[in-house]
Structure 1
Amino acid sequence: MKLISIPANPVPDDAIVGAIKTPDQVELRFVRFAPPAGRKGTVCLFQGRAEFIEKYFETVRDLRARGFAVATFDWRGQGLSQHMLSDRRKGHVKSFREYEIDLETFMREVVLPDCPPPFYALGHSMGASVLIRIANRGLRWFDRMVLCAPLIDLGPKNATPFARPVVRWLNVFGAGTSYVPGGSSTVVASQPFIGNVLTSDPVRHARTAAILEAEPELGLGSPTNAWAAAAFSMMRDFENGSYTKSIRQPILMIGASRDETVSTPAIEAFGGRLRAGSHLIIGGARHEMMMETDRYRGQLLAAFDAFVPGTPAYA
């Protein structure tokens, strides 16, 4: 396994990269960064859909400068982990339970044996949603979780009234591995800066595009109907008012006021129901807050600093 390094985005120091295999025989690429002096524990980074390890090198440096070791991996079907279909551009799973298997394997094979405790989670979008799912199941590896723009529901631009029944019908009747209606193999992060809904920072947007130019296999296009059906099933679970009752994990949810990808009002509503959680909204920010301009990214890091590290879960 390798990490892609370019002049604008070099690999952070002390990286150990490798591969692990899940119980269902999917190979995942992981990397862990050794703890700096005066270590405070380990932050585990969990990416969103269509993302990859290299995109978070800047965030890795920020976390290590704060005294944390860092560990992360590519979800199945993303980055340089094993893809589920012959067409690598299709983002595909049959159930989000598959992502939970990835996360559990990563924790047991990489983090628990080789990374210094205590453990904290920093998740974005889809990755943040998977963290919510494991918290609902009562898995307590992390003292605290910071969830950026979690996928609780789609933003108004994506939440058309017919989307759910259409993808469900297509999935049931054999088109599960096809792109969602209107989807294509066009790489999400390679689209022009003008008109993008992910970040208002042209430099960080260009950096991601440069990484993809250096290694095209990191790119991912639209999701499949099966992926979308699985996502809608998860969102339906989140709508249940009783879903948060079993979550006792300390969680900070951070939304972006200009997010068009996921629903910020849904994040606020879900965050308000958490027993041990809170939420805040960063005004003016777009969906990818860790890739935003310093003005918004600084607010995110300040919120992280205020919340992590906190009181250990098992003092």
Structure 2
Amino acid sequence: MQQAPFHQLPDDRLAPASAFFVTADDGKRLRLALWEPEDSAAYGTVLLFPGRTEYIEKYAPVARRLTDRGYAVLAIDWRGQGMSERLQDDPRPGHIIEFSDYQRDVIEMVVAGRHIGLPEPWHLLAHSMGGCIGLAALENDLPVQTAVFSAPMWGINLRRFQHGAALGIAYLAGRLGRGGLVAPGSGGANTTYALEESFNANLLTGNADEWARLMREAAHWPDLTIGGASFAWVGKALNECSRLSAIASPTLPMLVGLGSEEKVVSAASIRDRVAKSPRASLFEVRGARHEILLETPDRRDAFIRAMLDHFDAG
């Protein structure tokens, strides 16, 4: 493991994470970050799986809530985003070669956690794309005792496209050698969502303070951000969501958060998975958009309290 940078805004008073680089089995460099309780030894660990476009620093406030409760938190920049190795010459599109490659990152995260000696039991907190990766990781026996999902990407809200048409376009783009280009409707190639979208129109949060934080972070750390998803990412992600829809549900306790104003992932896919999961419960947040953990204080705190109770009960 090699020490890595961890960024903070000038007025940030939270304790910084300890960040470091590791190398996956295919040679890709990945950045991890560890937060630990300040005043006592941790009595458990939360593996934090971010979503597409995200970076470790975004989760510092959530990590603080977890460390205050006594948990260590280990987070990752997925390959192709944050400070982990990008996957093509143009670093801006969110890109992937095979969706299963994210499981290589999960394995390296677990190996690092074991090497550090992070305390057990371990738990999973996964948001959006991280929820898709997380469900596959549970299928592969991720060593966690409980799981919390925030707006998991178990299906994608394509809005303007039908599922089959989107898959066909992604496949054709790959055949034409354009799989690494940004797919229409997923965001601009050289833009960052928090800097290009207005607060009133954004799909992520109704919290103006959190939206301002995302804008400041994007402006201060442009190299951590990425733009829209590549054709290859769209095709691989749709196929992975379809594959996961057919697998048996995990048997460990799961808490699944869903905002009533969700427009990024498929709410129907989330409801379907919870309905057929023997130990899953759906926590619906009235008025929340996609980023429940960044929502207005009343919405955010209600979900975080449920999350902490869920981990404690596990």
TM-score by length of 2: 0.92
Pick the aligned partner of 1:307 from 302, 307, 310: 310
For the residues of structure 2 that align with 1:198 and 1:224, how far apart are their CA atoms? Answer: 20
For the residues of structure 1 that align with 2:5 and 2:52, how far apart are their CA atoms? Answer: 20
Match of 2:207 in 1: 201
- Contact 2:46-2:125 within 8 A present in 1 as well: yes
For the residues of structure 2 that align with 1:53 and 1:175, how far apart are their CA atoms? Answer: 29
CA drift of 1:8 comes to 4.1
Distance 1:101 1:10, change over 3 A: farther
Q: Per the alignment, in what secondary structure is the counterpart of residue 303 of structure 1?
A: helix
For the residues of structure 1 that align with 2:78 and 2:156, how far apart are their CA atoms? Answer: 20
For the residues of structure 2 that align with 1:251 and 1:2, how far apart are their CA atoms? Answer: 33
Q: Per the alignment, in what secondary structure is the counterpart of residue 309 of structure 1?
A: helix
For the residues of structure 1 that align with 2:41 and 2:87, how far apart are their CA atoms? Answer: 41
Moved more, 194-203 or 36-45: 36-45
Q: Per the alignment, in what secondary structure is the counterpart of residue 47 of structure 2?
A: strand
User: What letter corresponds to residue 248 of structure 2 in structure 1?
Assistant: T
Match of 1:187 in 2: 192
CA drift of 1:227 comes to 0.5
Pick the aligned partner of 1:151 from 125, 150, 153: 153
Pick the aligned partner of 1:238 from 214, 236, 244: 244
For the residues of structure 2 that align with 1:237 and 1:110, how far apart are their CA atoms? Answer: 28
CA drift of 1:112 comes to 5.3
CA drift of 1:38 comes to 5.3
Match of 1:126 in 2: 129
Match of 2:83 in 1: 80
CA drift of 1:164 comes to 2.3
User: Would you say 1:2 and 2:5 are equivalent positions?
Assistant: yes
- Contact 2:166-2:235 within 8 A present in 1 as well: no
For the residues of structure 1 that align with 2:150 and 2:29, how far apart are their CA atoms? Answer: 26
Match of 2:95 in 1: 92
CA drift of 1:117 comes to 1.3
User: Residues 148-173 of structure 1: CA distance to partner in whole angstroms, max 9, x if unpaired?
Assistant: 00001122625535222211222233
CA drift of 1:58 comes to 0.6
For the residues of structure 1 that align with 2:59 and 2:192, how far apart are their CA atoms? Answer: 18
CA drift of 1:111 comes to 4.7
Pick the aligned partner of 1:24 from 8, 26, 35: 26
- Contact 1:175-1:225 within 8 A present in 2 as well: yes
Match of 2:234 in 1: 228
Match of 1:175 in 2: 178
User: Would you say 1:117 and 2:115 are equivalent positions?
Assistant: no
Distance 1:8 1:293, change over 3 A: farther
Pick the aligned partner of 1:217 from 220, 223, 236: 223
- Contact 2:156-2:238 within 8 A present in 1 as well: no
- Contact 1:155-1:259 within 8 A present in 2 as well: no
TM-score by length of 1: 0.91
Aligned pairs, number: 306
**C-alpha root-mean-square deviation of aligned residues, in Å?**
1.8
**Structure 1 portions without partners, runs of 5+:** none
User: Would you say 1:62 and 2:65 are equivalent positions?
Assistant: yes
Pick the aligned partner of 1:164 from 159, 163, 167: 167
Q: Per the alignment, in what secondary structure is the counterpart of residue 300 of structure 1?
A: helix
For the residues of structure 2 that align with 1:62 and 1:223, how far apart are their CA atoms? Answer: 31
User: Residues 244-303 of structure 1: CA distance to partner in whole angstroms, max 9, x if unpaired?
Assistant: 25x223222111110110111220111111133222211110001111110110111121
